């Protein structure tokens, strides 16, 4: 998926991107790769808009399910505090 289309869709319809990823996953079927999606959505992870923030959380959860090691490694490099919080939460579950 072309990144500009992804950005446009996410801004207008964040829940649709989450649905696309949940339905088709990451990779060639959706055209969205784990690392690209996580990198793109990090600024939205603490967004004030509930719908946008929840969609970002949903994509991170899906990325952790599909490729936990790549997702955690990427988060540790880019947002260490977020990676730490997710690790604490994972231990509680």
Say if residue 91's pLDDT is above 60: yes
Reduced to 3 states (helix: H, G, I; strand: E, B; else coil), residue 26 is coil
| Closest listed residue to residue 64, CA positions, set 43, 89, 92 | 89
Can you give the residue ranges of every domain in the chain?
Answer: 3-92
pLDDT of residue 8: 65
| Measured CA distances, 11 to 8, 38, 49 (Å) | 5, 15, 11
Say if residue 2's pLDDT is above 60: no
For residues 7 and 61, the model is more confident at 61
Question: Tens of pLDDT along 28-84?
Answer: 777 778 888 888 778 777 776 787 788 788 888 888 888 888 888 888 998 898 888
């Amino acid at each position: 998926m072309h990144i500009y289309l992804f950005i446009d869709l996410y801004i207008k319809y964040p829940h649709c991107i989450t649905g696309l990823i949940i339905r088709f996953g990451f990779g060639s079927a959706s055209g969205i790769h784990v690392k690209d999606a996580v990198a793109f959505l990090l600024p939205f992870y603490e967004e004030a808009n509930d719908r946008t923030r929840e969609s970002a959380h949903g994509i991170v959860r899906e990325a952790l399910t599909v490729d936990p090691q790549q997702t955690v490694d990427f988060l540790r490099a880019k947002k260490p505090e977020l990676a730490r919080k997710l690790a604490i939460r994972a231990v509680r579950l």
